[in-house]
A and B are shown apart, each in its own frame.
Chain A
Amino acid sequence: MIMNTEKPRTPDAGQAAPKGNGHHALTERPKPMITNLKTVKTKATSKPMPPAKLPAPSEDPERVARNRELARTFIMPVVAILFAGLFWEIYSSREGVVLPGPLKTLHDSWNLIAHPWFDNGPNDKGLGWQLLYSLRRVAMGYSLAAVVGVVLGIVIGKSAMAFKALDPIFQVLRTIPPLAWLPISLATFNQANPSAIFVIFITAIWPILINTSVGIMRIPADYENVAKVYQLRGSRYFFKVMLPSAAPYIFTGLRISIGMAWLAIVAAEMLTGGVGIGFFIWDSWNSSRMSDIIVSVFYVGMIGLALDRIVAKIASLFGTKGD
């Protein structure tokens, strides 16, 4: 419609039309646009139309638009980060501000950034080790939560009675902040490491458990009928109907939980001590190494993002949605 007005000015319709209408190029393929123009043109001017040329592959307007979009996706965040850094630098350079600016942070903590794997005994390790120790605790607590959560979720999802009985309890337990479990955990285990792992476990299990049980309860009646008529029982029912049907729900739970587990470990380690990024941040605070804190917090964010993306990626491989 919009192109009708442009048509008399453009001798080469195939190239000019998409250029004049950037957003059209995304939704419509070039070929129909040409035929469209051709018919309009003959109707409007009744002059013989020169044969429309197809744009060469390199000028494919769709591809140009896509590349431009891609460039924007990368450039815009960089611009935003530069601006934020600039404001931070300006703010930090003011008098009386304790927070070091980005340049000072890089300068002060360069040793920490450049040598993540140094190891000078149990109380002085590089950031890589600190993160690895934290990740190991998360991995243990989270895997335990995943196994127990999925298994319990299936049992509860399959039994309406169990769900009725236990759901209110879960709804209360899942709102308890992770750190509130720590004293109980310390009293039970008497040791820092298992206590931290237990906190991760108890934090991560609820979303997994609740989502799994909902996923099991929401297996469509159609699939249940197929399973009954075609006699899918036991392990065949489990692997061919139940698990794939509930998979999107299970993975939603797993993804929420990994984020929560990573949030909880930093806080828990601050209190339990030992090697780990949480205690490293706390220790830096006690020794007034502000730039070290900033670097650590940055790494905590990056690892958290990576964990979330990894689980999301696994979910996209397994979580086939129904058609």
Chain B
Amino acid sequence: MSEAVIDQVAENEARFVDISGVHKLFGSGKSRYHALAGVDLRIAKGEFVSIIGHSGCGKSTLLNLVAGLYLPTTGSVAVNGREVAAPGLDRAVVFQSHSLLPWLTVLENVLVAVDSVHPDKDRKFRMDEARKYVDMVHLSAHANKKPGQLSGGMKQRVGIARAFAADPQVLLLDEPFGALDALTRGSMQDELTTIWEKNRKTVMMITHDVDEAVFLSDRIVLMSNGPAATIAKIVEVPIPRPRTREALLEDSHYLEIRKELLHYLIGAGMHAAA
């Protein structure tokens, strides 16, 4: 094998998610809205990256571009060296509003993803596979319940199970815990890190929670306020893993990073208000 091939592989892994020169405009004429202006971002394979910013700064737009639910007006989005042209199972999304199908049970909602990944496997294999992911989020006891019978935290866990069941290359989390109360959010974050430590998927997460971002991420991307939002700053989180909440409080980096993020967000908020 030549070194060129090895270099190519390394190059691909370093820019596993490759967003370059992306502008996104919505509407036309007078109602035209310039959501994103010149976003460049590279996410390495196995990296956990959070995107943080004020509401309306285009965080979700950026995530939807990687998901393929939107297409960039100019610029390009590529995952694993392939241009994103449509949504696909290699980029599973955990939606903010959980978006479970309310007429299907927990197991059937997860099965939706499994059936798409393994259309040629027999039913028993697919059921076992779905049960495995329901089990992963500790919902086996509720596998046959409808989403309407579940709490907000449980619904979001089903959303996470469904995303993992798609066995994606990139996991896209759109404010996954935004609608949950503080206590549930904490335990969900713990659960997510545990799952992530086991399989180290590439993750892009949208959040507006500074502590959540620091606790979970390798890097935190700060967005400037819209319209024409772009990346203002990228903060590295050099806190060793596996992380625990207690250890985090004693880590010297933690307070520093937290202060830096809050300082930026408050400053940007003042700027937006003025």
What string of 1s and 0s marks CB contacts (under 8 Å) between A173-198 and chain B? 00000000000000000000000000
Most-contacted residue by chain A among B69, B97, B99 (CB, 10 A): B99
What string of 1s and 0s marks CB contacts (under 8 Å) between B4-48 and chain A? 000000000000000000000000000000000000000000000
Q: Are A323 and B102 in contact (CB under 8 A)?
A: yes
Most-contacted residue by chain B among A222, A322, A323 (CB, 10 A): A323
A226 at the interface (CB under 8 A from B): yes
Q: Are A231 and B101 in contact (CB under 8 A)?
A: no
Contact-residue size bin, chain B (C-beta under 8 Å from the other chain):
20 to 34
Q: Are B95 and A320 in contact (CB under 8 A)?
A: no
B-side contacts of A322, CB under 8 Å: 102
Q: How far is the CA of A244 from the CA of B102 in the complex (A)?
A: 9
Q: Are B91 and A229 in contact (CB under 8 A)?
A: yes
Q: How far is the CA of A232 from the CA of B115 in the complex (A)?
A: 9
What string of 1s and 0s marks CB contacts (under 8 Å) between B86-120 and chain A? 11110111010101011110000000110110000
A-side contacts of B113, CB under 8 Å: 230
A-side contacts of B68, CB under 8 Å: 228
B134 at the interface (CB under 8 A from A): no
Known pairs A228-B86, A323-B102. 17 more at Cβ < 8 A?
A: A223-B101, A225-B69, A225-B93, A225-B99, A226-B95, A226-B112, A228-B87, A229-B89, A229-B93, A230-B92, A230-B116, A230-B162, A240-B101, A240-B112, A320-B103, A321-B102, A323-B147
Shortest distance from the beta carbon of B25 to any chain A beta carbon, whole Å: 20
Q: Are B89 and A240 in contact (CB under 8 A)?
A: no
Q: Are A222 and B88 in contact (CB under 8 A)?
A: no
Contact-residue size bin, chain A (C-beta under 8 Å from the other chain):
10 to 19
Shortest distance from the beta carbon of B172 to any chain A beta carbon, whole Å: 9
A236 at the interface (CB under 8 A from B): yes
Q: Are A236 and B99 in contact (CB under 8 A)?
A: no
A-side contacts of B86, CB under 8 Å: 228
Shortest distance from the beta carbon of A106 to any chain B beta carbon, whole Å: 49
A241 at the interface (CB under 8 A from B): yes
User: Of B92, B97, B104, which one neighbours A240 at CB under 8 angstroms?
Assistant: B104
Shortest distance from the beta carbon of B102 to any chain A beta carbon, whole Å: 5
Q: Are A226 and B99 in contact (CB under 8 A)?
A: yes
- Sorted from nearest, which 9 A-B pairs have the closest CB atoms? A323-B148, A228-B87, A222-B99, A244-B103, A231-B116, A320-B103, A323-B102, A229-B87, A322-B102
Q: Are A222 and B116 in contact (CB under 8 A)?
A: no
Given the contacts A240-B104, A320-B102, A231 and B89 also touching, CB distance less than 8 Å: yes
Q: Are A229 and B69 in contact (CB under 8 A)?
A: yes
Q: How far is the CA of A222 from the CA of B102 in the complex (A)?
A: 12
Q: How far is the CA of A158 from the CA of B148 in the complex (A)?
A: 28
B67 at the interface (CB under 8 A from A): yes
B-side contacts of A228, CB under 8 Å: 68-69, 86-87
User: Of B67, B91, B92, B99, which one neighbours A223 at CB under 8 angstroms?
Assistant: B99
Shortest distance from the beta carbon of B201 to any chain A beta carbon, whole Å: 15
User: Of A232, A244, A320, which one neighbours B116 at CB under 8 angstroms?
Assistant: A232
Q: Residue of B at shortest CB range from A231?
A: B116
A-side contacts of B92, CB under 8 Å: 229-230
Q: Residue of B at shortest CB range from A226?
A: B99
Q: Are B101 and A244 in contact (CB under 8 A)?
A: yes
Given the contacts A225-B69, A236-B115, A230 and B97 also touching, CB distance less than 8 Å: no
Q: How far is the CA of A232 from the CA of B162 in the complex (A)?
A: 13
B-side contacts of A226, CB under 8 Å: 95, 99, 101, 112
B-side contacts of A244, CB under 8 Å: 101, 103
Shortest distance from the beta carbon of A238 to any chain B beta carbon, whole Å: 13
